[in-house]
Chains A and B, each alone.
Chain A
């Protein structure tokens, strides 16, 4: 087998025809993405019970769009294994960054409280979040 390293040739002989075939696909995707954008906007005016669920729905659609863009426009589908490998790691690490900071945020020592605007006059907190006895903790400037 003779490996070509000639820099002037396309690495893949039938690339051009392959590309031509995909152009139609890109067009379809364009309309699809526009439709999804409209959907995102539309859906944000629907109330899904709580803001949280609106967020979930919005993010799902955004993820779908992002997935389409990367899979097709960025040719990730059919991209080489080398690239997939480190992208997967990247994905794991951002997720780790999100989840772990979130967890740390949500799991303070019981009895921890955070400063609030209602007590901005008071550098620390008025109401304690989960302190077993509230009365010993002063409330803020509302007094």
Chain B
């Protein structure tokens, strides 16, 4: 098994560990940088899609302040932290302090796991139970009470076409029926049994986000740092006024499409980094055990894995502002 894992190096070839004198590099270092160059182009392609779609989005179709900023900030800090610990791990190896290496590497791995857990157990699932309904522009006036477009116009802000929150009732035959039922149960909880939802069979009933509950409030003009709780107000939207509606899944809008694709791909990179780190941390032949026979080789491996990790961090440094803040 371990014979196949370290694709990055092989023993029959020179300069796997020591640097070639005229370039000053060992091969894997060059290799990883080339790989990172291609990664730059990969994410470059995705970011150019972001730019293209965002600029192409009409006023009111690119949401701002939807994501949970404190959580995002925390995750940013965690990734930065792991970037530091991975350099420490490498430095410890260079100084031949093996236990320290294990320690710092362990922290790095934990940070990575934490990051992924936050993504997968909180951030993404939170999207999946949020619901948004884009109202047809021709019908928007009917829902002025939730959209507040007159107010926004007065303030010279982009219009709002979407009503968001938790769905309590979906039109018959809609794929969101089950989610709606589940939410409705939750909604009525405490309010006694047999709560009557407004509206009829063919309507969307949404328990509103604060922003739609009070669209004319100055507070809601700017995104807030702490996410605002759901209101207890509901809105009824008739199916014929709906342009498109779904939970906050990739298909919901170009915003969520880019969000999920970029963070998803980034998440996969984190996962990949973690696998490599674990390999280098556990007593595999090409992993921590290598320390006994060739500590410098292990240090090199940690260095290139670390370079990859820093790059993943670096991508996040851009992802965070463009999706959470701007």
Do A and B have CB atoms closer than 8 angstroms in the complex? yes
Q: Which A residues contact B (CB, under 8 angstroms)?
A: 3-11, 15-16, 19-20, 22-23, 26-27, 29-30, 33-34, 37-38, 40-41, 44-45, 47, 51, 54-55, 58-59, 61-62, 65-66, 69-70, 73-74, 80, 82-83, 86-87, 90-91, 93-94, 97-98, 101-102, 105, 114, 116-118, 120-121, 141-142
| Interface status of B47 (Cβ within 8 A of chain A) | yes
Q: Is the CB of A6 within 8 A of B88?
A: no
Q: Which B residues contact A (CB, under 8 angstroms)?
A: 14-19, 21, 23-26, 29-30, 33-34, 37, 40-41, 44-45, 47-48, 51-52, 55-56, 58, 61, 69, 73, 76-77, 80-81, 83-84, 87-88, 91, 94-96, 134, 136-138, 161, 222-223, 225, 243, 294, 296-297, 299, 306-307, 310-311, 313-314, 317-318, 320-322, 325-326
Query: In the assembled complex, which residues on chain B have CB atoms less than 8 Å from the CB atom of A118?
Result: 58, 137-138
CB distance from A129 to the nearest CB of B (A): 12
New contact pairs (11) apart from A30-B84, A45-B225, CB-CB < 8 Å: A5-B18, A6-B18, A9-B296, A27-B84, A38-B73, A47-B222, A58-B325, A69-B313, A82-B30, A91-B40, A142-B137
Please judge, given known A-B contacts A41-B73, A65-B317, whether A80 and B296 are in contact too, CB under 8 Å.
no
Q: Is the CB of A3 within 8 A of B21?
A: yes
Which of A22, A55, A62 contacts B317, CB < 8 Å?
A62
Q: Is the CB of B56 within 8 A of A142?
A: no
Q: Is the CB of A20 within 8 A of B95?
A: yes
19 A-B residue pairs with Cβ-Cβ distance under 8 Å, sorted by A, are A10-B296, A11-B18, A19-B91, A29-B84, A41-B73, A41-B225, A44-B325, A62-B320, A65-B317, A73-B313, A80-B25, A82-B24, A83-B25, A83-B30, A87-B37, A101-B48, A102-B52, A117-B134, A120-B136
Residue on A with the closest CB to B37?
A90
Residue on B with the closest CB to A55?
B326
Q: Is the CB of B69 within 8 A of A41?
A: yes
Query: In the assembled complex, which residues on chain B have CB atoms less than 8 Å from the CB atom of A23?
Result: 88, 91
Provide the main secondary structure of the chain A interface.
helix
Query: In the assembled complex, which residues on chain B have CB atoms less than 8 Å from the CB atom of A3?
Result: 21
A93 to B307, CA, bound (A): 21
A55 to B61, CA, bound (A): 17
CB distance from A53 to the nearest CB of B (A): 11
Query: In the assembled complex, which residues on chain B have CB atoms less than 8 Å from the CB atom of A114?
Result: 56
